[in-house]
Structure 1
């Protein structure tokens, strides 16, 4: 099955406003508690996946009854997080893009591994992003158009030891043939001048984080 976009609702911080992100043609995956969240908000996930160790047996039964398909795994005998399992199934749909909701939260380890998962999207030529209440995170290895989404800041952080040949247009603080290295804050807290800006790089992987204060 090929689709335009896959939405993954997973078990981090989830907001009812995320339901507004769903479009009619989206393929929707609920990972663990994310599946319950969808059902509680009147959305039937096409697929629910995970070990479901963060919900009660009664809630799991609800997920089983109200999901299009359910894939369960043992919480101990598994090598992937619930979000990664959902991400693997998302890639199987051959989408143009994947949006992860609930991929950030109090567990920094889970947040970081979900951000690292964006690399796998690039490797499969699929645009992948993470959305939470204060941030929109994406990754580029070449060029990216950054659109105004209601966030205050745009920060650029290298996900490789260095990112070279950075060109920014449409930003308050432009960069020309710049290099960013891990541990530097040069790319933090830039701003768009209008409805969109362009980021181009020659080498490396660059995180683009649109953010706002709560």
Structure 2
């Protein structure tokens, strides 16, 4: 399969720095207000999806007219969040990687649900990341290369009861076949020694969060 990256802009916290992350070959899917944000900054979404209940009728028409494809649903009779709708649309295109902007914000329920979306991507053998102004989040069940990306800290949190066999190379605080269980803070606030480091695990599901204040 050829490399295909899908970038999703959803309705959380967005900044113009994210627009610079878009690559020429990216497929851009925008959810609800994320679509309006892109259009206001001169970028045409390939697909705009959602109930669009966070924008006015006039803004909705702007999104409809300036998107290659427009998919709207009833805001009352729907089971998915706008972000999950965008994610499901992305899955239909069989990407190798999904990068999601605007998936975090003041609604912790939506933020956690969007973190869990990455588990769904992994089940489809698709790498996935969430990025906001202060964080870059990925998952691994085996190994991952962590690149510097301009973030200060690297934290490891288990998304299963425990994660075993954790080994770190290229980090200030190395681990050698360590186990981290839910509720433990052993993996918080590590740092890379150079431009990248490697995380490997034996079992479990590990959330890798690169962050800065």
Q: Secondary structure at the match of 2:11?
A: coil
* Contact persistence 1:8–1:31 (CA under 8 A): yes
Whether the aligned pair in 2 keeps the contact of 1:14 and 1:101 (CA below 8 Å) is: yes
User: CA deviation digits over 1:133-185, x for unaligned, max 9?
Assistant: 00000000110000111110000000111001101000000001100011111
User: Structure 1 segments of 4 or more deviating over 4 A?
Assistant: none
Give secondary structure in 2 for the equivalent of 1:21: coil
Query: Matched residues in 1 for 2:26 and 2:149: separation?
Result: 20
In the other structure, the counterpart of 2:124 is: 124
Gaps of 5+ in 1: none
Instruction: Give the whole-Å Cα distance in 2 for the aligned partners of 1:88 and 1:42.
Output: 25
Give the equivalent residue in structure 2 for 1:88: 88
Q: For residues 2 and 132 of structure 1, what CA distance do their matches in structure 2 show? A: 27
Secondary structure of 1:90's partner? Answer: helix
1:163 paired residue number: 163
Stretches of structure 2 that go unaligned for 5 or more consecutive residues are none
Distance 2:16 2:132 in 1: 11
- Give the TM-score taking structure 1 as reference length: 0.98
1:24 aligns with 24
Q: Aligned pairs, how many?
A: 213
Distance 1:203 1:2 in 2: 29
**In the alignment, what sits opposite 2:182?**
182
Aligned: 1:209 with 2:202: no
Contact 1:39 1:63 in 2 (8 A): yes
Q: Once the 2 structures are TM-superposed, how far is the Cα of residue 2 of structure 1 from its aligned partner? A: 6.7
Q: In the aligned structure 1, how far is the partner of 2:34 from the partner of 2:117? A: 18
**Do the aligned residues in 2 keep the contact of 1:3 with 1:27 (CA within 8 Å)?**
no
1:106 — aligned with what? 106
State the distance in 2 between where 1:2 and 1:76 align. 38
Matches within 5 A, 1:10-89: 10-89=10-89
**Distance (whole Å) between structure 2 residues aligned to residue 157 and residue 8 of structure 1:** 24
Deviation digits for residues 76-97 of structure 1 (CA, Å, limit 9, x no counterpart)? 1001000000001111111110
Asked if structure 2 preserves the Cα contact closer than 8 Å seen for 1:2 and 1:93, the reply is no
CA shift at 1:3, angstroms?
Answer: 5.5
2:146 paired residue number: 146
- String of CA shifts for 1:7-39, please: whole Å, max 9, x gaps: 000000011111001000000001000000010
Q: Distance in 1 between matches of 2:98 and 2:154?
A: 21
Offset from partner CA, 1:96-141 (integer Å, 9 cap, x none) = 1000000000000000000000001110111100000000000001
**Is the contact between residue 8 and residue 100 of structure 1 (CA under 8 Å) also seen in structure 2?**
yes
